[in-house]
Amino acid sequence: MGCCIGAARARKDREVHRAGLEAVGELAQGELADILQQLCLALGMADAAELPAAVARLQRAVTTLPRLERFVTDVCEVCLLTHRLPAPAHLLR
């Protein structure tokens, strides 16, 4: 079990180094608390321990936006061109 924890820690250390995040370890506790509170407020969360999972969900959602945008564009084109409907005014702005 200890080897798995050590390997996970080494992997995390490499990721932190690659991202240039070593300075985060030197932030004062008050600064860290302020950052966590700001993130929780921005995401509407009460538990900072849930931030990593929330950020992962947000990241997945953001990566799907281009596909969703293409889908909506395609549906609008089919509806407007096939049925010769006028485009809604708010889409023409």
Domains in the chain: boundaries: 1-44, 47-93
E-only strand ranges, the chain:
none
Which tokens sit at 64?
């799907």
17 has pLDDT over 60 = yes
Contact (CB, 8 A) for 41 and 33: no
pTM over 0.75: no
5 has pLDDT over 70 = yes
- pLDDT attached to residue 1: 52
pLDDT digits (tens, 9 = 90+) for 19-48: 888 888 888 999 999 999 999 999 999 999
* Higher-scoring residue by pLDDT: 30, 89: 30
